């Protein structure tokens, strides 16, 4: 019962690319230029809300799909990291053979949330999404994952 336009939009959404993206530039309120760190493809995505929270260098997991004549981010609540990846880390992602899936992204964050940290006083409380992101950012910074040049 879809109209031809709605049916085409649905088909467009079915053809998407999930991956690790780096924000290259932000046009606040309009869109962003992204680089898929596994394929080296660049996309200009039409986006509103995320442009107010993003800055060049931000790394996040998400889907990109071509809708009609432009690209858009698909989905919500992307997992993002406030770290900078240097060329060595980018080369590693480009050379990795397996695709990163939403399950992989979730497992990465879930594993970090489950590991007790001696300097984190949670009083046996579960971490929320913001705390998990902060913890991951700290871990990546400690292993100098954000200092490659």
Residue-wise pLDDT for 37-80, tens only, equals 888 899 999 988 888 888 898 888 888 988 888 998 887 666 66
Residue 34: predicted pLDDT: 95
State the Cα–Cα distance between residues 102 and 139, nearest whole angstrom: 21
This prediction has a pTM of: 0.63
**CA dist 109 → 5, 26, 27, 39, 54 (Å):** 37, 26, 29, 23, 20
Say how many residues make up the chain: 149
Q: Which two tokens stand for residue 122?
A: 């949670």
Strand partners, 25: 33
The residue to which tokens 């400690």 are assigned: 142
The three-class DSSP label of residue 107 is helix
Residue 111: predicted pLDDT: 65
pLDDT in tens, 2-43: 888 888 777 777 778 888 889 999 999 999 999 998 888 999
pLDDT in tens, 98-147: 677 677 766 766 665 666 555 544 444 566 777 777 777 777 766 655 54
């Amino acid at each position: 019962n879809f109209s031809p336009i709605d049916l085409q939009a649905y088909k467009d959404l079915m053809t998407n690319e999930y991956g690790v993206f780096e924000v290259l530039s932000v046009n606040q309120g309009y869109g962003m230029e992204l680089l898929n760190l596994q394929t080296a493809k660049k996309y200009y995505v039409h986006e509103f809300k995320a442009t107010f929270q993003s800055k060049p260098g931000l790394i996040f997991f998400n889907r990109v799909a071509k809708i009609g004549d432009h690209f858009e981010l698909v989905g919500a609540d992307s997992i993002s990291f406030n770290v900078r990846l240097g060329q060595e880390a980018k080369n590693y992602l480009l050379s990795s053979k397996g695709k990163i899936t939403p399950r992989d992204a979730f497992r990465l964050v879930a594993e970090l949330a489950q590991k007790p940290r001696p300097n984190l006083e949670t009083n046996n409380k579960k971490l929320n999404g913001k705390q998990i992101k902060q913890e991951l950012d700290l871990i990546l910074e400690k292993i100098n994952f954000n200092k490659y040049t």
